[in-house]
């Protein structure tokens, strides 16, 4: 190498430059290889540690889930092993019910895990924090709610979601404070928020959602936000949120908001409006109106739906055919007869497909 | 016989039933279970998970019921699928009972014992 | 005079090499950041799921051409995927063998009067069937038109808002749909996602699922493993955070159906229809200034059989190169367009300069340096240094691919796997890389040679071979 350096200093600039960049590449390569080796060794060490931990604790955890165990039999848990303990412990908590969970909590407290969890929540890295939040759910200690509330405004969506869920489990009363936060944070996926609201239950969320809907609409909130709110009403009691939804349908000029309402509202009281909207110029509205009519339509609506079998939009035709076949008073024979008397080819095809789907 | 893909839960179940004095055997995926069904001796009772690798529990259920020696073995489905339609489907296909996860171990033991008492 | 020309030439090659490798290293760095962020949140595998039950339903499109021996097993394994709601549509692309008969027998197909919704033009449909055993399985029988045409027919028949294009011979992980669908749940702007493809040679596969990961015994697949690590873990992961990923592998990609329909579906007269579609979506959205996201999911979710002989591998690489050139040239409007963003100004020029035209510069460089050396115009030292740089950087990039793999998924469990891969990284740079450049040059030549008349024909035989 020495002679190499020597020559590199003496040649033309281009050769020198080339040599040194190649040299850097080699040094970097060696560093990368060293890093790979270090990572692999750490991985193996961690794996061995985990196996060692499990060989002792697997039986203990299983046993203590099923019967109260004598605390003196529990070995001490080192700080590094807390993560292993918690993932196993959480897993059992999630799969079991009833007094087993109390026994598992008792075990965690006697082993001093609850303090370790709180330490992890304060000082741990992201992953450890999440694990700690999830564990707090099972421990169910009301004193932890303060920390969890702070986490609701965490920059990380995932931490916020877990904190929200944990809060609700520990203290259902926190819903009023928590709901506006998670609904308004648009970095939280609607689906995830819906799941949390589902867990909270319709009794708790319905009045809150109805209020939020009314206020948001009055204040002229953005269509995107309205659509999200309306989608979330699926988890609520219909009787509580429908008045707000109907109020919105009366006044809104936004196609997407209207379509979202039509998707959510299922009450015969709205039938007159739905029958009207079935002729709406925008097909996105027609599709949802047709589906709604399929869920609640009466005998007299059959003609309306039949007309839509020849709509210009495929989706409207498809939903209309499905809607007809869903009507409780329409039998497969009716469908076949209807098909025989239609003179529109699209409609015939569509009904044929739906009959076939229904008989499958 | 326990068919369960989650090793922690399988371990727990084995422990639970061994303590009650049962001998246990365990399969962790659909294929292994199928092999046990085809080659092994019939057990007194089967605990069957629904979500399994390779062959789901519903398939195994039908498969078990097609084996002459296995026809009358009581089967309890143990699964996180809690939809009514899944329960109906399982009972239709020949399951004797259905326990939803998260489950209560003592309740599961009681159900197992009841099924074994009713059977001759 | 001549010596200064030579020096300029040397500088050009050198700077090109450094630009190329520096570019890759920068991608590597980007990828490193986003991967380590991702992995930190993955450390704990038992976190409760927020999305259970809310995943958007997916239509799995499986084009099949002369697949009678494998199609039943593929479909059986796809039926076992763990996902809330999905349908499988097999498109029999006018197979000359018994593909359709096998499907009919295996899945008890009956004709289904589908009100076929023609949104994309395709070859004529001969019939639609549905399985009486699995209510989420349908088969479309159509005249031969190639893979792109089959996918378009599948899109027409798809019922769900997302569709996933899958090769019939892909080996999927059971959770692969969950993994690629995740970005769609987290961000409503996502229009397409693609996943890491890994090489299945040497692995134990049964019932269409991967049982045990291992390395192949043969050298060619081994070399491709290292290549795939490079290509996916930083070639694509690096571009993804910039929203500038230009390729989603045809073996496994998830798309928003209406976006693809609006874009006009797959192009039937190209070789690289999978890449062309993605570049086109980029172009249409960027130029229309519409917000969108195309996301890469680094998890290994799809395994594929790599060619084990030189001829097949050569054909594949030549095809890839032609596909790349076509995809870029068909969407050349995106290049340095003032609305092009990171795609138009970084990813597209990078692909064009280093991936598409790279083989020319690379091979000319080798020829040039050797010629100069043989004619005595440069010293042996200069040649030695040139090779040192070229090979040094080659090894560096492959090792960094290996490092990313070790940081994230470490799917090869044994230390001996790692050592073998490191060895492959070393030898890869003596011959294999250069051979690859040569094949790509052939692809480039075929493309410029205006093989247009042959494209349709090539595609039919070529696109299916693996």
The DSSP line for C70-104 is THHHHHHHHHT---SSEEEEEEEES-SSSHHHHHH
Q: How close does chain A come to C187, measured CA to CA in Å?
A: 7
Contact B53, B5 (CB under 8 A): yes
Query: Chain A contact for C113, CB < 8 A?
Result: yes
> Residue C464 has what pLDDT?
33
Structure tokens belonging to residue C112: 């289904």
> Residue C455 has what pLDDT?
37
In C167-265 the beta strands, taken as DSSP E runs, fall at 171-172, 190-199, 204-206, 209-212, 252-256
Among the listed ranges A70-74, C232-236, C435-439, which one has the minimum average pLDDT value? A70-74
Domain that holds residue B23: 2-115
Task: Write the pLDDT tens digit of every residue in A212-268.
Answer: 988 888 888 888 888 888 988 888 888 888 888 888 888 888 888 888 888 888 888
pTM of the full structure: 0.81
**Chain centroid to CA A202:** 17
Residues belonging to chain C: 466
Q: Can you tell me whether residue A360 is helix, strand or coil?
A: coil
Contact A297, A323 (CB under 8 A): yes
Q: What is the CATH number of the domain that holds C218?
A: 3.90.550.10
DSSP annotation string for A10-26: HS-HHHHHHHHHHHHHH
Tell me whether residues C82 and B31 touch, CB distance under 8 A: no
Percent of chain C with pLDDT strictly greater than 70 = 93
Residue of C nearest to B31 (CA): C207
Tell me whether residues A161 and C50 touch, CB distance under 8 A: yes
Highest mean pLDDT among B15-24, B85-94, C81-90: C81-90
Question: Neighbouring chains of B at 3+ CB pairs within 8 Å?
Answer: A, C
Structurally, chain C folds into a number of domains equal to: 1
Give the number of other CB atoms < 10 A from CB of residue A218: 10
Task: Write the pLDDT tens digit of every residue in A161-177.
Answer: 888 888 888 888 888 88
Tell me whether residues A66 and B19 touch, CB distance under 8 A: yes
Cα separation, A315 vs A289, whole angstroms: 12
Task: Using pLDDT thresholds of 50, 70 and 90, give the confidence band for residue C257.
Answer: very high
Query: Chain B contact for A102, CB < 8 A?
Result: no
Q: How close does chain C come to B52, measured CA to CA in Å?
A: 9
Question: Neighbouring chains of A at 3+ CB pairs within 8 Å?
Answer: B, C
Nearest partner of C177 among C23, C33, C56, C75, judged by Cα = C56
Give the number of other CB atoms < 10 A from CB of residue B65: 15
CA C244, C62, C317: angle at the middle one, nearest 5?
A: 55
What ipTM describes this predicted complex?
Answer: 0.81
pLDDT average, residue stretch C22-32: 87
Tell me whether residues C388 and A22 touch, CB distance under 8 A: yes
Cα separation, B119 vs C82, whole angstroms: 35
Residue C330 lies in a domain: yes
Cα separation, A129 vs A122, whole angstroms: 8
DSSP annotation string for B85-116: HHHHHHHHTT-SEEEESSB-HHHHHHHHHHHH
Which chain B residues are Cβ-neighbours of A58 within 8 angstroms? 8, 11
Largest Cα–Cα separation, chain A: 98
Among the listed ranges A23-27, A46-50, A65-69, C160-164, which one has the minimum average pLDDT value? A65-69
Q: How close does chain A come to B104, measured CA to CA in Å?
A: 5
Query: Chain A contact for B19, CB < 8 A?
Result: yes
Residue C90 lies in a domain: yes
Tokens 């350096």 sit on residue? A5
What torsion, rounded to 10 degrees, do the Cα atoms A116, A121, A126, A131 define? Answer: 60
Contact C408, C39 (CB under 8 A): yes
> Residue C465 has what pLDDT?
34
* CA quadruple A18, A19, A20, A23: dihedral sign: positive
Task: Write the pLDDT tens digit of every residue in A68-88.
Answer: 777 777 787 887 788 888 888
pLDDT, greater one: B52 or C285: C285
Tokens 């068909």 sit on residue? C330
Q: What is the CATH number of the domain that holds B48?
A: 3.40.50.2300
Q: How close does chain B come to C404, measured CA to CA in Å?
A: 29
Q: Can you tell me whether residue C138 is helix, strand or coil?
A: strand
Tell me whether residues C80 and B31 touch, CB distance under 8 A: no
State which H helix or E strand residue C9 sits in: helix C2-42
pLDDT for residue C42 is more than 70:
no
Structurally, chain B folds into a number of domains equal to: 1
Contact A227, A260 (CB under 8 A): yes
> Residue C45 has what pLDDT?
54
> Residue C294 has what pLDDT?
93
Residue C114 lies in a domain: yes
Residue C436 lies in a domain: no
Domain that holds residue C141: 23-349
Contact C109, C91 (CB under 8 A): no
Tokens 């069957």 sit on residue? B48
pLDDT for residue C254 is more than 90:
yes
Task: Using pLDDT thresholds of 50, 70 and 90, give the confidence band for residue C58.
Answer: very high
Residue B120 lies in a domain: no
Task: Using pLDDT thresholds of 50, 70 and 90, give the confidence band for residue C43.
Answer: low
Tell me whether residues C410 and A43 touch, CB distance under 8 A: yes
Tell me whether residues A96 and B105 touch, CB distance under 8 A: yes
Task: Using pLDDT thresholds of 50, 70 and 90, give the confidence band for residue C451.
Answer: low
Task: Write the pLDDT tens digit of every residue in B63-72.
Answer: 888 888 888 8
Cα separation, A332 vs C47, whole angstroms: 47
pLDDT average, residue stretch C339-359: 86
Sequence-ordered list of residues with C-beta below 8 angstroms from that of A311, at least 6 positions apart, any chain: A283, A286, A317, A320
Contact C301, C196 (CB under 8 A): yes
Residue B38 lies in a domain: yes
Cα separation, C250 vs B86, whole angstroms: 35
Query: Chain A contact for B9, CB < 8 A?
Result: yes
Nearest partner of C180 among C226, C272, C249, judged by Cα = C249
Contact C285, C243 (CB under 8 A): no
Tell me whether residues B104 and A58 touch, CB distance under 8 A: no
DSSP state of B41: P
> Which residues does B contribute to its contact with C (CB < 8 Å)?
31, 51, 53-56
> Residue C456 has what pLDDT?
37
> Residue A174 has what pLDDT?
84
pLDDT for residue C120 is more than 80:
yes
Contact C428, C220 (CB under 8 A): no
pLDDT average, residue stretch B6-15: 83
> Residue C41 has what pLDDT?
64
Tokens 């090769």 sit on residue? C167
> Residue A339 has what pLDDT?
81
Query: Chain B contact for A92, CB < 8 A?
Result: yes
Residue C378 lies in a domain: no
> Residue A360 has what pLDDT?
61
β-partners of residue B103 are A96
Which chain A residues are Cβ-neighbours of C13 within 8 angstroms? none
β-partners of residue C193 are C254, C295
Residue B59 lies in a domain: yes
Contact C403, C229 (CB under 8 A): no
Bond into B102 cis (ω within 30): yes
Would you give the end-to-end CA distance of chain A in angstroms? 77
Phi, psi at residue A171, to the nearest 5°? -140, 90
pLDDT average, residue stretch C398-419: 86
Residue C423 lies in a domain: no
Which chain B residues are Cβ-neighbours of C80 within 8 angstroms? 53-56
Tokens 């005595």 sit on residue? C376
The mean pLDDT value of chain C amounts to 84
Tell me whether residues C82 and B51 touch, CB distance under 8 A: yes
Residues belonging to chain A: 360
Residue C375 lies in a domain: no
Give the number of other CB atoms < 10 A from CB of residue C457: 10
Query: Chain C contact for A20, CB < 8 A?
Result: no
């Amino acid at each position: 190498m020495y002679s190499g350096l020597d020559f590199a200093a003496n040649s033309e600039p281009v050769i020198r430059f080339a040599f040194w960049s190649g040299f850097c590449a080699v040094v970097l390569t060696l560093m990368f290889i060293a890093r790979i080796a270090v990572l692999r060794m750490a991985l193996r060490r961690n794996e061995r540690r985990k196996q060692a931990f499990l060989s002792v604790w697997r039986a203990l955890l299983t046993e203590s889930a099923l019967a109260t165990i004598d605390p003196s039999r529990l070995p001490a848990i080192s700080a590094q092993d807390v993560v292993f303990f918690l993932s196993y412990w959480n897993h059992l908590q999630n799969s079991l019910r009833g007094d087993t969970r109390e026994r598992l909590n008792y075990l965690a407290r006697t082993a001093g895990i609850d303090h370790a969890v709180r330490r992890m929540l304060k000082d741990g890295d992201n992953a450890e924090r999440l694990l700690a939040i999830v564990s707090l759910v099972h421990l169910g200690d009301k004193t932890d709610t303060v920390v969890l509330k702070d986490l609701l405004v965490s920059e990380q969506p995932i931490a916020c979601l877990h904190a929200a869920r944990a809060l609700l489990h520990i203290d259902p009363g926190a819903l009023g404070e928590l709901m506006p936060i998670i609904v308004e944070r648009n970095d939280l996926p609607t689906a995830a928020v819906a799941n949390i609201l589902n867990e909270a239950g319709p009794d708790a969320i319905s009045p809150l959602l109805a209020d939020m809907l009314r206020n948001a609409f009055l204040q002229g909130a953005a269509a995107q936000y309205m659509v999200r709110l309306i989608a979330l009403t699926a988890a609520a009691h219909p009787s509580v949120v429908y008045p707000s939804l109907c109020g919105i349908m009366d006044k809104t000029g936004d196609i997407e908001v209207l379509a979202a309402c039509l998707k959510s509202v299922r009450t015969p009281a709205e039938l007159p409006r739905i029958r009207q909207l079935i002729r709406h110029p925008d097909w996105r509205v027609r599709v949802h109106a047709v589906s709604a009519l399929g869920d609640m339509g009466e005998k007299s609506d059959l003609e309306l739906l039949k007309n839509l079998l020849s709509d210009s939009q495929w989706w409207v035709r498809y939903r209309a055919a499905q809607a007809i076949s869903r009507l409780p008073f329409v039998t497969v024979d009716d469908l076949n007869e209807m098909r025989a008397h239609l003179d529109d080819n699209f409609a015939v095809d569509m009904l044929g497909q739906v009959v076939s789907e229904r008989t499958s | 016989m326990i068919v369960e893909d989650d090793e922690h839960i399988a371990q727990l179940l084995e422990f639970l039933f061994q303590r009650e004095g049962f001998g246990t055997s365990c399969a962790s995926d659909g294929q292994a279970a199928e092999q046990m069904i085809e080659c092994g001796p019939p057990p007194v009772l089967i605990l069957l998970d629904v979500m399994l690798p390779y062959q789901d529990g519903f398939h195994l259920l039908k498969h078990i019921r097609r084996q002459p020696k296995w026809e009358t073995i009581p089967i309890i489905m143990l699964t996180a699928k809690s939809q009514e339609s899944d329960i109906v489907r399982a009972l239709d296909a020949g399951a004797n009972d259905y326990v939803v996860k998260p489950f209560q171990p003592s309740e599961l033991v009681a159900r197992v014992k009841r099924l074994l008492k009713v059977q001759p | 005079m001549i010596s200064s020309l030579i020096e300029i030439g040397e500088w050009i090659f050198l700077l090109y090499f450094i630009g190329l490798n520096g570019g890759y290293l920068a991608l590597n760095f980007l990828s490193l950041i986003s991967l380590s962020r991702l992995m930190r949140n993955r450390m704990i595998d038992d976190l409760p799921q927020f999305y259970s039950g809310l995943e958007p339903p997916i239509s799995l499109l499986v084009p099949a051409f002369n697949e009678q021996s494998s199609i039943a097993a593929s479909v059986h394994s796809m039926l076992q995927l763990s996902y809330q709601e999905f349908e499988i549509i097999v498109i029999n692309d006018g197979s000359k063998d018994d593909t359709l008969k096998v499907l009919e027998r295996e899945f008890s197909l009956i004709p289904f009067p589908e009100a076929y919704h023609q949104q994309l033009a395709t070859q004529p449909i001969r019939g639609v069937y549905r399985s009486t055993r699995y209510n989420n399985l349908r088969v479309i029988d159509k005249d031969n038109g190639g893979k792109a045409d089959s996918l378009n027919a599948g899109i027409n028949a798809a019922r769900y808002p997302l569709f996933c294009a899958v090769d019939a011979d892909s080996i999927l992980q059971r959770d692969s749909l969950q993994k690629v669908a995740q970005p769609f749940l987290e961000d409503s702007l996502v229009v397409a996602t693609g996943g890491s493809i890994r090489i299945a040679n040497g692995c134990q596969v049964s019932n269409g699922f991967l049982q045990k990961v291992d390395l192949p015994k043969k050298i060619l697949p081994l070399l491709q493993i290292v290549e795939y690590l490079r290509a996916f873990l930083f070639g694509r992961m690096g571009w993804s955070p910039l929203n500038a990923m230009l390729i989603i592998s045809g073996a496994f990609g998830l798309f928003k159906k209406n976006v693809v329909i609006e874009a006009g579906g797959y192009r039937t007269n190209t070789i690289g229809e999978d890449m062309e579609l993605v570049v086109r979506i980029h172009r249409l959205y960027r130029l229309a200034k519409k917000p969108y996201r195309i996301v890469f999911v680094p998890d290994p979710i799809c395994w594929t059989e790599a060619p084990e002989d030189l001829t097949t591998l050569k054909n594949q690489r030549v095809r890839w190169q032609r596909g790349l050139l076509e995809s870029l040239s068909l969407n050349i409007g995106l290049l340095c367009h003032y609305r092009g963003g990171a795609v138009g100004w970084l990813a597209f020029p990078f692909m064009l300069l280093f991936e598409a035209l790279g083989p020319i510069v690379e091979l000319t460089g080798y020829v040039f340096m050797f010629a100069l050396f043989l004619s005595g115009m440069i010293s042996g030292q200069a040649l030695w240094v040139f090779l040192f740089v070229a090979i040094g950087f080659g090894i560096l990039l492959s090792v960094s691919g290996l490092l990313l793999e070790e940081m994230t998924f470490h799917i090869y469990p044994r230390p001996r796997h790692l050592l073998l891969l490191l060895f492959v990284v070393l030898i890869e740079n003596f011959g294999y890389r250069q051979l690859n450049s040569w094949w790509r040059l052939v692809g480039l030549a075929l493309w410029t040679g205006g093989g247009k008349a042959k494209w349709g024909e090539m595609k039919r035989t070529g696109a299916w071979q693996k």
